[in-house]
Amino acid sequence: SSGRAPSLLRIIMQCCYGPLWLSFLLPLLLLTASDGSRALSHNKKQSQTRYSSAVREAVNRSWYDDVYPALASVQFPEEKWLSACVQSGKPAASSCCRAWNVKVKYSLAHMQRQLAQLLQPPTNRGVGDRKKTLSFFQPDWNCSGRALERVPEKDGDGPKWVCGLDEIGLRRPSKCLVYSFGSNGDTSFEEAVKKRRPDCEIFTFDPTLSASAMAKVRQVEKSGTLTFVNKGLASKDGSMVFGNLTGAVSTLHTFVRDLGHDGREIDILKVDIESSEFDAIFSSGGLRSCMAAYRDDQPDVLGDRIGQVQIEVHGSKRGDPRTPIRYFWANARAAKLFATFYSCGLMTFSEELNIWGGFGGCKEFSLVSSSQAFRVFATKESPGECDY
């Protein structure tokens, strides 16, 4: 619709991504409330943040004007999953493929419900609490209990949930390939993977290490466990400020090219980069080209060659107020991130709250591709029928 009010609301919400505008944009936004009341409550006893109708209208309008167009082309490649058994060489009428398709169709029904809700504005599918921004994203795939494991088996921020570590790369000539972005000097994940899978080539990336952490990682590198790259993952090649230091960064596509991994499957993509995951993944140099609207970003759709992803996702930055602007921003970037993963054909098989970091607004997600999921299914769930 036209008129002064809608235009003003759109201008306000278009500026919501700039933190410097927050101090005066929020009061302006709240003035649009018909009753003039505050649009949020800080009462910890309340289970839901309440917004006025005008604030909800502003958020929803901006969602459909500025976020929905980026999400509209999201489409989960169902056929890739349904054909995974046949692609492995099994007859479509075999008991293996029939059992596989039954399991896949069950998960696809759940995925379609998530996709439908993903396109809805945040005020229609959640509460304004940064701890719950990510609660909408739930597992779609059931990784066999015998294949689902925490690597390594210990508490802390370093271990990740993996689906079928032993099944990675089965019946494939190329070696196992692991990219681990963000370590903070903790290489326990890489060491555990290398111990179980000595054939894996493991690359660890982190431009933020202190001198002591760097020395530790270099020592692990000397043992042959990993190759360390003193760069970080970002949406563009160049440099980025990390607190008190500036480090070199590159896109995922640049790393793949520079390391000579063009055409290879990245069996494990671990990402723990403290809120930079959104821009890095949803970018022309990331995995955004999986989405139909962004196919021209890259001639090579790298997302089609990701075996599984272990990622720490941040609902909001520490200390952010629970305002409509921040709530909108947190939901928008999370929706773009998962829309990208879904378009690449990745299903979530694990999610858990990170109680060691993230201050309540951080979750660990693990997603798997159809090819890796089938390897696990054929060897762990239906070895008799599949004879894999």
- Tell me whether residue 16 is in a domain: no
Which of 339, 347, 312 lies closest to 139, judged by CA? 347
- Tell me whether residue 23 is in a domain: no
| pLDDT at 12 (0 to 100) | 43
Q: What is the pLDDT of residues 120-179, one digit of tens each?
A: 887 776 544 555 678 888 999 999 878 999 999 988 788 999 999 999 988 888 889 999
Under 8 Å between Cβ of 385 and 103: no
Mean pLDDT of 77-83: 97
- Number of domains making up the chain: 1
Which value, to the nearest 10 degrees, does the dihedral of the CA atoms of residues 193, 195, 197, 201 take? 70
| pLDDT at 126 (0 to 100) | 53
- Tell me whether residue 284 is in a domain: yes
- Tell me whether residue 52 is in a domain: no
Percent of the chain's residues with pLDDT above 90: 59
Q: Residue 232 sits in which domain range?
A: 74-120+133-385
- Tell me whether residue 9 is in a domain: no
Q: What's the rounded Cα separation, in Å, for the pair 286 and 93?
A: 38
DSSP letters of 85-104?
HHHTT--TTSHHHHHHHHHH
Measured in whole angstroms, the distance separating CA 148 from the mean position of its chain's CA atoms is 19
- Tell me whether residue 159 is in a domain: yes
Residue 334: give its domain's CATH number.
3.40.50.150
| pLDDT at 279 (0 to 100) | 94
- Among the residue ranges 26-35, 159-168, 300-309, the one predicted with the least confidence is 26-35
Task: Give the DSSP H or E segment for 328.
Answer: helix 324-343
Mean pLDDT of 320-340: 79
- Tell me whether residue 61 is in a domain: no
Q: What's the rounded Cα separation, in Å, for the pair 60 and 37?
A: 19
Task: Give the DSSP H or E segment for 111.
Answer: helix 95-118
Under 8 Å between Cβ of 216 and 184: no
Q: Give the β-pairing of 201-205 and 177-181.
A: parallel
Question: CB within 8 A of 35, min separation 6: which ones?
Answer: 52
Q: What's the rounded Cα separation, in Å, for the pair 376 and 307?
A: 12
- Tell me whether residue 314 is in a domain: yes
The two tokens of residue 142 are: 């059931």
